[in-house]
Structure 1
Amino acid sequence: MEDCEGGWEELRKEARKIEGDLDVKLSSYAKLGGMLSHGGDARVEGSWKSMDTEIELLLEKLLDINDSMSRCVAAATSTTSVTQKLARHRDILHEFTQEFRRTRNNINSMREHAELLTSVRSDISDHKASGSSSPAASLLRERGAIHGNIAHMDEVITIAHTTKVALGAQRTTFMEIQGKVKQLGDRFPAIRGVLGAIKRKKSKDTLILAGVITACILFLIIYWLSK
């Protein structure tokens, strides 16, 4: 019994250590799987596979230790406390095993989904590439470009025609105004005479102003030379 009790304690100590390692590794395993399912590189995939193998080995080792503890308990007179502790270790092993399988299945499902999306996108890209390089697609593309150029030319021609019409209308308006002014002058000679007088007076004033400016300049030159 004493040998069994000593072996029991050693087995429990080893079981608790493995349980702690499994708790840490399962958390890291889930994180690596999440990174891998979102397009992780080869290094992440290698780390994930390595940890997957390590967790499997730890679970197998913990199962062996639980079996050894069960044999130890069966070979000796066990108390209720020992039986409860053994049951707790079995529950922990079951929980870790279920969590590992569930996480692995989820990660594999996400990886398959990501690979399927990548494959579909690749097929679509290949289809577009092969379609764009076909003669029919090239002809359609050239035809579209020609139609676009023709539409642009039509737009330019329309703008030019509109501008021509506007300039013609302005020219007609100016000619009409000029004709009306001439008719007004012919019908009212007095007005034409007044306009002529104003024009002559303006010319006379311009000549007087030019003479005054010239005289001032000459006076300044003579004054400067006499000094």
Structure 2
Amino acid sequence: MSSSTFAQTRSQALNLEKQTEQLLSQYSQFLTQQNVEPNEEEVSVKAAIQEILTKRDSIINKLNRIGESMDNLSTSKLQQLTRHREILHDHKLAFTKIEDTIQNDRNRNNLLFSVRSDINAHRQQTTEGHSEINAHDYILDERQRVDSANSFAERLLQSAFNTRDELLNQRQYLNNAQAKMFSTLQHIPGINVLISKINTRRKRDTLILASVIAFCIILLFFF
């Protein structure tokens, strides 16, 4: 009698496990929905899962009592009872995980929606309250930009004029230095002859070097 009762109760446990898996699968579909508040279907599925988990607790307790009342509980029945407990524990964890994920996503979406609403409200108030002031400020800003551009152009022209004057002064200084050098050379006896000899020797060395290079090229060409 106890054995048949155990089998019937276990059959109920198996049936409830299948129903739980279907409900969990249905409940997990709400993870992809961006609802601000839970709809009626979500509330109904959640309540059904909670109810069926409570029933399974009762069924497992009943199986445990039946097993204790039996004179000799077989190892297979003990393993079956343990397995039902493990499956119930896994289903409870899965339900809690799905529930927490849905709630966390909903809280994040609600926070983002609230922040966006506040930003839009602030922008609208700013636009309505400062539209005329913004137009006046824009004109003033443009005038300041034009004045700044004119001031920069004036500074640039002044810098160019100063650079030109500096170059003219340097040119005059170099001309004076060249004139003084020529005047000094004319008053030193023999300096012109020395410079002439240096130039002649430089031309001679250049001519010799050019001849050597030409001779080498000719040798490479014929040999």
- TM-score (normalised: structure 2): 0.59
One-letter amino acid matched to 1:18 = L
Classify the secondary structure of the residue corresponding to 2:123.
helix
Deviations 1:3-36 (A, max 9, x none): 211111111111111100111110110112321x
Instruction: Using the TM superposition, give the Cα deviation of residue 41 of structure 1 relative to its aligned residue in structure 2, in angstroms.
Output: 7.6
Distance 2:53 2:134 in 1: 63
Measure, in 2, the Cα distance between the counterparts of 1:41 and 1:6: 50
Task: Name which of 118, 124, 127 aligns with 1:123.
Answer: 118
Deviation at 1:61, TM superposition (A): 0.3
Structure 2 residue aligned with 1:13:
11
The residue aligned with 1:140 is 133
The answer for the alignment partner of 1:112 in structure 2 is 107
Tell me how far 1:144 sits from its aligned partner: 5.7
Q: Does the 8 A contact of 1:70 with 1:86 survive in 2?
A: yes
Q: CA separation in 2, counterparts of 1:41 and 1:118?
A: 9
SS in structure 1 of the partner of residue 39 of structure 2:
helix
Counterpart Cα distance in 2 of 1:143 and 1:28:
60
**Normalised TM-score (structure 1):** 0.58
| Structure 2: unaligned runs, 5 residues or longer | 144-223
Alignment partners' CA distance in 1, 2:3 and 2:114: 59
For 1:23-76, what per-residue CA distance to the aligned partner results, in whole angstroms no more than 9, with x for missing partners? 1110110112321xx2x387x721111100000000000110000000000111
Give the equivalent residue in structure 2 for 1:101: 96
CA RMSD, 1 decimal: 2.2
Structure 1: which 5+ runs fail to align?
A: 151-227
Equivalent pairs, count: 143
Match of 2:82 in 1: 87
- Aligned partner letter, 1:27: S
Contact map agreement 1:33 1:48 (CA 8 A) in 2:
no
Looking at structure 2, the residues matched to 62 and 33 of structure 1 have their Cα atoms a distance apart, in angstroms, of 25
Residue 220 of structure 1 is matched in structure 2 by none
